[in-house]
């Protein structure tokens, strides 16, 4: 029970200015940015140091108080929003915002959980290095949130998911103890890999307060092309050729349907179709090289060859950084412009990369059969087998009536995903949104292992309860 006395004890840990009780002050922490989840809490705590987080968890442990950790509040599955009951305390990590160290010689950076992704990228750049994680929300999402959700983004094809970018962690456990796991090592085989348990656990096993992340060489040249292809299979063939081409690394490979270009050019005055004729599908490909101009020659050769063989119908290679940005804008505006097209039922799925065309072949007719006239928009990270299959409502249909079909459509899509050995949440996580779906897609042995680990690390169930499991 959150008595006034107990709330006062929590507030005393961080000091009154950082213990928010006024609804207006709390508002930014309690509404998910798309307004899909709204939570309630008697207390938003903004600790300023790991010791304060530890003290909060210690008191929570002693009193059985449930705690919801939060980073930049940009999550898409409601994992960062407390329930409507008002029985949980929210702990915002945003004041833990120091870049503790940047070590270009060791290619590592120590960052606290509340550092925004963009600030982390900038800190690496200032030291002449690259922190490659890149997402649409990088201006406001935080490293702690990226780690807790194992964020993906547009550079996974070359650098991996957030999990692959973390060497060490500092974590406050459910009982308030601090695990000091800030290692800077490329190799360490002294026992179990605890770090990966906390990465992607959405704050249900511990509260990540800092991390050691990997840095990389900055590419000397980045070349971007916008390519028209007849179908997803052709896009996949182009991916294989681009990866096999010498001279550069494929650092992004995004698939877009024609409808994406139509939606963006319709609603974003700054965007234009880079190609003269319409094409059924498009690929946004980026090749990077540590050699100056290294990727351009390779990409030109790949595209010329693919054009000749009908894999590619047309292509534009960005001649300037501004042009490259205009190509990227077509991809980045996609989530935003969909709002202007009415309700959108969303999926964040992955399948083995080579099965993406088969997945689309199976899923699109099922979706279109369920709600005739609906407008599927399958786009995303083809190189990772990860598609955001958003489906806009039929023109003129009642939005609420359309959105009421969401669960049914999700179930149909997820059935196909599961049949193909895929994932129903490739990069956004489970949170509240997909919690009920887990038992349907997970091996019961795996679920029971997850539950056993949760019970071991958080025996009272006070860490972000009702999320994931």
- Write out the binding residues for a second copy, residues 287-326 only, by CB under 8 A: 289-292, 294, 298
Q: Which helix (H) or strand (E) holds 283?
A: strand 281-289
Q: Which is nearer to a second copy, 298 or 318 (CB)?
A: 298
Residue window 377-396: x/- pattern of binding to a second copy, with contact defined by CB under 8 A: ----x-xxxx----------
Which residue in 173, 284, 285, 315 binds a second copy (CB under 8 A)? 173
Which residue in 352, 365, 373, 439 binds a second copy (CB under 8 A)? 352
Q: State the Cα–Cα distance between residues 46 and 92, nearest whole angstrom.
A: 5
Is 106 a residue that touches a second copy (CB under 8 A)? Answer: yes
Q: Which 3 state secondary structure label does DSSP give 249?
A: strand
Is 397 a residue that touches a second copy (CB under 8 A)? Answer: no
Q: Which residues of 37-68 are buried (b: 16+ CB within 10 A; e: fewer)?
A: bebbbbbbbbbbebebbbbbbbbbbeeebbbb
H-state helical runs in 219-284: 232-244, 258-267
- Write out the binding residues for a second copy, residues 42-101 only, by CB under 8 A: none
**Shortest Å distance, C-beta 26 to a second copy:** 28
The 8 Å CB, 24+ separation contacts for 320-328 are: 323/224, 323/274, 324/222, 324/224, 324/286, 326/270, 326/271, 326/272, 326/274, 327/224, 327/225, 327/226, 327/274, 327/284, 328/224, 328/284
Q: Which is nearer to a second copy, 158 or 316 (CB)?
A: 158
**Shortest Å distance, C-beta 196 to a second copy:** 4
Name the burial class of residue 343, with classes exposed (0-12), middle (13-18) and buried (19+) by CB atoms within 10 angstroms of its CB.
buried
Q: Which is nearer to a second copy, 58 or 442 (CB)?
A: 442
Q: Taking Cα atoms as reference points, which of 131, 143, 79, 136 lies closest to residue 425?
A: 79
Q: State the Cα–Cα distance between residues 40 and 85, nearest whole angstrom.
A: 6
Q: State the Cα–Cα distance between residues 177 and 196, nearest whole angstrom.
A: 18
- Cβ 225 vs Cβ 275: under 8 Å: no
Among the candidate windows 134-142, 304-312, 330-338, 346-354, which touches a second copy by CB under 8 A? 346-354
Is 243 a residue that touches a second copy (CB under 8 A)? Answer: yes
Q: State the Cα–Cα distance between residues 345 and 358, nearest whole angstrom.
A: 21
**Shortest Å distance, C-beta 297 to a second copy:** 10
Q: Which is nearer to a second copy, 85 or 309 (CB)?
A: 309
Is 411 a residue that touches a second copy (CB under 8 A)? Answer: no
**Shortest Å distance, C-beta 421 to a second copy:** 6
Is 127 a residue that touches a second copy (CB under 8 A)? Answer: no
- Write out the binding residues for a second copy, residues 3-42 only, by CB under 8 A: none
Number of residues in contact with a second copy under rule CB under 8 A: 92
Is 188 a residue that touches a second copy (CB under 8 A)? Answer: yes
- Write out the binding residues for a second copy, residues 426-445 only, by CB under 8 A: 426-430, 434, 438, 441-443, 445
Q: Which is nearer to a second copy, 108 or 116 (CB)?
A: 108
Which residue in 17, 23, 246, 269 binds a second copy (CB under 8 A)? 246
């Amino acid at each position: 029970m959150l008595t006034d006395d107990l709330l006062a004890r929590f507030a005393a840990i961080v000091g009154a200015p950082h213990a928010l009780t006024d609804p207006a002050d709390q508002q930014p922490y309690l509404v998910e940015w798309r307004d899909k989840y709204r939570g309630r809490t008697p207390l938003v705590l903004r600790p300023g140091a790991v010791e304060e987080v530890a003290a909060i968890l210690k008191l929570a442990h002693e009193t059985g108080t449930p705690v919801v950790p939060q980073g930049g509040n940009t999550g898409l599955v409601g994992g960062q929003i407390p329930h409507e009951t008002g029985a949980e305390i929210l702990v915002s990590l945003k004041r833990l915002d120091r870049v503790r160290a940047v070590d270009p010689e060791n290619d590592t950076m120590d960052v606290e959980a509340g550092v925004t992704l963009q600030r982390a990228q900038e800190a690496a750049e200032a030291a002449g290095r690259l922190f490659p994680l890149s997402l649409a929300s990088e201006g406001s999402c935080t490293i702690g949130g990226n780690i807790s959700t194992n964020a993906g983004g547009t550079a996974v094809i070359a650098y991996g998911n957030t999990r692959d970018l973390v060497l060490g962690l500092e974590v406050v456990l459910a009982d308030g103890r601090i695990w000091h796991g800030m290692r800077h090592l490329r190799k360490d085989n002294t026992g179990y890999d605890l770090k990966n348990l906390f990465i992607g656990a959405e704050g249900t096993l511990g509260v990540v307060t800092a991390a050691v992340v990997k840095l990389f060489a900055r590419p000397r040249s980045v070349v971007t092309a916008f390519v028209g292809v007849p179908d997803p299979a052709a896009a996949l063939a182009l991916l294989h050729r681009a990866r096999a081409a010498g001279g550069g690394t494929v650092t992004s490979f995004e698939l877009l349907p024609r409808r994406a270009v139509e939606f963006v050019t319709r609603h974003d005055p700054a965007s234009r179709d880079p190609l003269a004729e319409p094409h059924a599908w498009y690929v946004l490909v980026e090749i990077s090289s540590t050699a100056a101009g290294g990727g351009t020659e390779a990409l030109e050769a790949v595209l010329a060859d693919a054009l000749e063989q009908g894999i590619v119908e047309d292509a534009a290679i960005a001649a300037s950084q501004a042009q490259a940005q205009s190509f990227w804008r077509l991809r980045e505006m996609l989530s935003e412009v969909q709002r202007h097209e009415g309700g959108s039922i969303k999926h964040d799925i992955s399948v083995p990369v080579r099965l993406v065309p088969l997945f689309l072949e199976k899923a699109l007719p099922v979706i279109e059969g369920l709600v005739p006239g609906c407008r599927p928009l399958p786009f995303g990270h083809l190189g990772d087998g990860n598609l955001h299959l958003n489906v806009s409502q039929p023109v003129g249909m009642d939005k609420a009536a359309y959105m009421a079909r969401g669960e049914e459509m999700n179930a149909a899509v997820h059935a196909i995903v599961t049949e193909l050995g895929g994932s129903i949440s490739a990069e956004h996580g489970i949170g509240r949104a997909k919690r009920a779906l887990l038992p349907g897609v997970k091996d019961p042995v795996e679920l029971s292992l997850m539950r056993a680990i949760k019970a071991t690390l958080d025996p009272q169930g006070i860490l972000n309860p009702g999320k994931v499991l």
